[in-house]
Structure 1
């Protein structure tokens, strides 16, 4: 009979290394699922059961309180100052393709994957910053009666949304 230790030394050494890689890949996949779930919650807002407010829920009242002409002017300004929508879509597609290649690769490059995600988040942050700057500049240019009217519309928006809580959205 053969010595059981001999067979472990020849063929068994590769098994723990492979098992470690599989476990590591599963761990990374689970971590990414958690990261994407958190990103999804923050970008989509709360689900039917509640949750943290999303970007739209936070920014919508500020934008909604502007007069229609102001909203149109701000939208036109944003279109002038931002790269075209197709450029943003193309950049996101390229990022997703690169991310998928990293995830599918033999060795997972976590720092590179993080850089891709951070780049996408930076584009979103730039858009948010521009919108915030434009809104504040527009409010700063208002007269006191205009600011008060804006504040009243903002209060109406917030009160109206507070009354709708618990009711299904249409």
Structure 2
């Protein structure tokens, strides 16, 4: 044997608790990486819902094609319109109205004011929808407008034929 091999100190083994701690640390790092990668992939497959879900134009909505409805939604978003905030405000008004209707004593002027605010908010949404609809119709070719008119006619004919509960 040589001098070097006889003087070499035996290697100390790593304590068990350190190996367990390293294993736990590696596992946690892999879990975090998996969550991050999964979140990125999930976001790409299922992006967040748009702020403006869909512009509702009453009976006209169904007559617009899917592409037209998407264009209307993008136009509303481009203007920074928050239909979600409008609905939230309308809900708050309705909650206040319900509270006033249940109150005793009855306050007619408060109820009239609340109904008036609700009407104004509704008219504002209708006005926005009308303007966006006219702008979209302006952008259509004649054959697209004729197809829209036919879908509108079919929608109204179908609704007239539906049984009505009385």
TM-score (norm 2): 0.52
Q: Tell me the distance in 1 between the aligned counterparts of 2:141 and 2:147.
A: 10
CA distance change for structure 1 residues 83 and 167 in 2, over 3 Å: closer, same or farther? closer
The higher radius of gyration belongs to 2
CA distance change for structure 1 residues 123 and 87 in 2, over 3 Å: closer, same or farther? closer
Which residue of the partner structure matches residue 109 of structure 1?
A: 107
1:124 is paired with a residue whose SS is: helix
Which residue of the partner structure matches residue 96 of structure 1?
A: 95
Q: Tell me the distance in 2 between the aligned counterparts of 1:167 and 1:101.
A: 33
Contact 2:97 2:115 in 1 (8 A): no
How much does 1:101 deviate? Answer: 5.0
Instruction: Extract unaligned runs of 5+ from structure 1.
Output: 1-55
- Per-residue CA distance 1:41-60 (angstroms, 9 max, x = gap): xxxxxxxxxxxxxxx8x822
Higher relative contact order (CA 8 A, sep 6+): 2
Instruction: Extract unaligned runs of 5+ from structure 2.
Output: 1-55
- Per-residue CA distance 1:15-49 (angstroms, 9 max, x = gap): xxxxxxxxxxxxxxxxxxxxxxxxxxxxxxxxxxx
- Output aligned runs, 1:6-155, within 5 Å: 59-60=58-59, 62-80=60-78, 81-83=80-82, 85-86=84-85, 88-90=87-89, 92-93=91-92, 96-97=95-96, 100-101=99-100, 104-106=103-105, 108-155=106-153
Q: Tell me the distance in 1 between the aligned counterparts of 2:135 and 2:108.
A: 40
CA distance change for structure 1 residues 127 and 84 in 2, over 3 Å: closer, same or farther? closer
**How many pairs are equivalent?**
109
Which residue of the partner structure matches residue 43 of structure 2?
A: none
The two structures, once aligned, show a CA RMSD in angstroms of 3.1
How much does 1:97 deviate? Answer: 3.3
TM-score (norm 1): 0.51
Contact 1:65 1:153 in 2 (8 A): yes
